[in-house]
Amino acid sequence: MPLLWLIGIVLAIAVAGYVIGRKRALDSAGGDPRNLHSLPSYYGSNVAMKVVVPSVLVLLVWLIVQPIYVGSVVSGALPDRAIADGSSRDLVMAEVRRTADGLNNAVAQGIMTDEEARDMRADFTDVTQRLKDAGQIVTSEVTQPILNAAQQFRAMNATGAIAMAIVVTLLAIGGLLWGLKESEKDFRARNTVEQGVKALLIAAASIAVLTTVGIVLSLIFNTYEFFKLYPWYEFFFGTTWSPSFSGRGGSSELGIIPLLWGTLYISIVALAVAVPIGLFAAIYLSEYAGPKVRAVAKPLLEVLAGIPTIVYGLFALLTVGPMLVSVFGKEGLGIMQSGTAVMTAGLVMGIMLIPFVSSLSDDIINAVPQAMRDGSYGLGATKSETIKQVVLPAALPGIVGAILLAASRAIGETMIVVLGAGAAARLSLNPFEAMTTVTAKIVSQLTGDADFASPEALVAFALGMTLFVITLGLNIFALYIVRKYREQYE
């Protein structure tokens, strides 16, 4: 609540600054906006910016640093005797935090007074019982050292919060004064605000980039941990995937090849379904269909893209699988054992990908200028000649991009595989056999109750890393293709 108040105060100062700054600038120009360097609103924005930016930045930093600082001080002050055998400083600190929270809540509910919470002693009062009475979660007896630490923790946090409120408000007021001082007619408010907007955009971009870097680093770090426990050559070149579920059995075989093969096989089947159908649908929609058909068919096709993949998974499991079995199974050709197979998952995934291919390709084909088609028709070409020889080549880079995007989706798809292709990691050429993919195995390795430090769990990061590298490679390849064709065609 105080935090909300603080933000409210800063914003109120900013709004006031906007109004006053605008007015001051106008007054300095004798009330005639034409005498100002910038539009009046820029002067207002400049003041608001000077109020908000420094104070909010400090607020953010404070919010991050204070808990770390307080935590380390309190934990440093914990006497060694407070840490029981078989426990650790971190566990005790968690206890301290919980107690402090409990005290806070008890005070907020009016069960304890603030002084009580601050001064009481575990040996005089039954703190544990009182906290329990107040409905707080207390896992073990609150001892005196823990209570002391919790009290210190509360005190430091309270002081910190007050100091933060004061500093932030002062900064906001300082910014207000600074901005107002600048608000006179020759000040280049527009340029300053433009700089501010630019900085904001750069900040947003850096956050996006830094997050990516962070994710990749965490992947790399955990993958490294995994390779400390499991030899990398067995991971990359092993042809068997059979993790032992007991966890530390040491008998796990974690070869990625069968998983990669399954991923590849299912993706190829999916693309073999999605690319021709999607592309032809796109050509029909953009070149042949009348506006009425287009207006109905395009959104309908895009509905396919909105269906959650778990629904596709159900469709694979309950409809497509049994249907395939009735044709290729024992009753029919006898080459399919059960409904879960590469073919089932591939077909359904292909259906899921159709709208990706068709919708993107349709937009790209539509973007080919009419003048290009006219040129071809003007030379006596038919519609299909024009499409084949002028429109599609011109749209090719985009279409390749669309296909590769669909391929990335196929490689990353999980739900359909889990339900449609089964969980058996197998190296086989028969598309009617059950296989599984990298993503499906990541899920099954992490959803068990294996210890997160065991190779059986850490392998998920190595799998994820491999997948990431493959998709990245695919995207770079897509860019390369697109660029190459663009050079040729522009």
Shorter beta-carbon distance to another protein: residue 334 or 375: 375
Q: Least Å distance between CB 394 and another protein?
A: 5
User: Binding of another protein at residue 374 (CB under 8 A)?
Assistant: yes
Segment interacting with another protein, rule: CB under 8 A, options 123-131, 373-381, 422-430, 467-475: 373-381
Q: Considering only CA atoms, which of 428, 423, 421, 414 is closest in space to residue 239? A: 428
Binding residue for another protein, selected from 87, 212, 326, 382, defined by CB under 8 A:
382
Burial string for 393-417 (b: 16+ CB within 10 Å, else e) reads bbbbbbbbbbbbbbbbbbbbbbbbb
Binding residue for another protein, selected from 206, 246, 326, 488, defined by CB under 8 A:
488
Q: Dig out the tokens for 448 from the structure.
A: 């068990």
Shorter beta-carbon distance to another protein: residue 196 or 393: 393
User: Binding of another protein at residue 373 (CB under 8 A)?
Assistant: yes
Shorter beta-carbon distance to another protein: residue 284 or 468: 284
User: Binding of another protein at residue 376 (CB under 8 A)?
Assistant: yes
Segment interacting with another protein, rule: CB under 8 A, options 127-135, 382-390, 447-455, 464-472: 382-390
Amino acid letter, 354? I
Q: Least Å distance between CB 33 and another protein?
A: 40
Segment interacting with another protein, rule: CB under 8 A, options 89-97, 105-113, 301-309, 370-378: 370-378
Shorter beta-carbon distance to another protein: residue 181 or 388: 388
Binding residue for another protein, selected from 264, 289, 372, 465, defined by CB under 8 A:
372
Shorter beta-carbon distance to another protein: residue 32 or 490: 490
Handedness of CA 417, 423, 429, 432 (dihedral sign): negative
Binding residue for another protein, selected from 379, 453, 472, 479, defined by CB under 8 A:
379
Segment interacting with another protein, rule: CB under 8 A, options 22-30, 108-116, 265-273, 375-383: 375-383
User: Binding of another protein at residue 161 (CB under 8 A)?
Assistant: no
Q: Least Å distance between CB 300 and another protein?
A: 22
Shorter beta-carbon distance to another protein: residue 377 or 468: 377
User: Binding of another protein at residue 369 (CB under 8 A)?
Assistant: yes
User: Binding of another protein at residue 378 (CB under 8 A)?
Assistant: yes
Taking a C-beta distance cutoff of 8 angstroms, is the pair 209, 92 a contact? no
Binding residue for another protein, selected from 334, 375, 448, 473, defined by CB under 8 A:
375
89: Cα within 13 Å, side-chain hemisphere: 10
Task: Tokens 């900085």: give the residue.
Answer: 199
Angstrom distance (rounded) from CA 351 to CA 347: 6
Binding residue for another protein, selected from 1, 300, 371, 429, defined by CB under 8 A:
371
Segment interacting with another protein, rule: CB under 8 A, options 79-87, 125-133, 317-325, 364-372: 364-372
User: Binding of another protein at residue 292 (CB under 8 A)?
Assistant: no
What are the CA-CA distances from residue 122 to residues 92, 108, 136, 358, 423 (Å)? 16, 20, 16, 70, 56
Per-residue binding letters, 383-412, with another protein (x by CB under 8 A): --x---xx--xx------------------
Taking a C-beta distance cutoff of 8 angstroms, is the pair 301, 354 a contact? yes
Q: Dig out the tokens for 379 from the structure.
A: 């030379």
Burial (0-12, 13-18, 19+ Cβ within 10 Å), 45: buried
20: Cα within 13 Å, side-chain hemisphere: 16
Taking a C-beta distance cutoff of 8 angstroms, is the pair 436, 424 a contact? yes
User: Binding of another protein at residue 449 (CB under 8 A)?
Assistant: no
User: Binding of another protein at residue 438 (CB under 8 A)?
Assistant: no
The site for another protein, by CB under 8 A, has a size of 23
Q: Least Å distance between CB 489 and another protein?
A: 4
Binding residue for another protein, selected from 323, 377, 443, 465, defined by CB under 8 A:
377
Binding residue for another protein, selected from 58, 381, 465, 474, defined by CB under 8 A:
381
Shorter beta-carbon distance to another protein: residue 49 or 387: 387
Shorter beta-carbon distance to another protein: residue 295 or 318: 295
Shorter beta-carbon distance to another protein: residue 11 or 289: 289
* Residues in contact with another protein by the rule CB under 8 A: 291, 369-382, 385, 389-390, 393-394, 488-490
